[in-house]
Structure 1
Amino acid sequence: MSFTDSCSSCLARGIAPADTRTRGDRRVDGYRCPHCGHTWAVTRDLTAYSDIHARRAHHHARKAA
């Protein structure tokens, strides 16, 4: 699963993590904006993202049928 984020300082979009660590069902992505140098971290509960992707796949399959 690949994530990108937006810089809260200069609003640049599509920034890939500079560092990623997984701790059980949580993932911590560390970011550094290549435009302004701002740094931040985001913690995500991967079980929540798995549920969202499963619902989207089911929704798309229903539309196609």
Structure 2
Amino acid sequence: MKDTCPSCLARDIAPTESRTRGDRIVDGYRCPRCRHAWATVRDLTAYSELHARRAHNRQRKAAA
């Protein structure tokens, strides 16, 4: 998942490193523009629930 640099606001920065820890994924980033480094932690169960709801809504609309 790409992110935006919190320091200089450069966009579409790909992670330089990713690790899965249980139900979470940790992505490490380094901005190529200003060299700022940061990490994000995303709970995969939250994302799968979001995707499941979207798929359910699409199926309901298709059936209607």
Structure 1 portions without partners, runs of 5+:
none
Largest Rg, 1 or 2: 2
User: Which residue, out of 11, 18, 21, partners 1:20?
Assistant: 18
Shift of 1:62: 2.9
For 1:45 and 1:53, how far apart are their aligned partners in 2?
13
User: Which residue, out of 26, 31, 34, partners 1:33?
Assistant: 31
For 2:51 and 2:11, how far apart are their aligned partners in 1?
22
Structure 2 portions without partners, runs of 5+:
none
Residues 1-65 of structure 1: pairs in structure 2 closer than 5 A: 3-65=1-63
Number of equivalent positions = 63
* Two-structure CA RMSD over aligned residues (Å): 1.2
Secondary structure at the counterpart of residue 21 of structure 1: strand
Give me the TM-score of the superposition, normalised by structure 1.
0.85
Among all aligned residue pairs of Structure 1 and Structure 2, give the percentage whose two residues are the same amino acid.
70
For 2:54 and 2:4, how far apart are their aligned partners in 1?
23
After superposition, give the CA deviation of every residue in 1:25-50 in whole Å (9 maximum; x if it has no partner). 11100001111111000011100010
Give me the TM-score of the superposition, normalised by structure 2.
0.86
Secondary structure at the counterpart of residue 9 of structure 1: coil
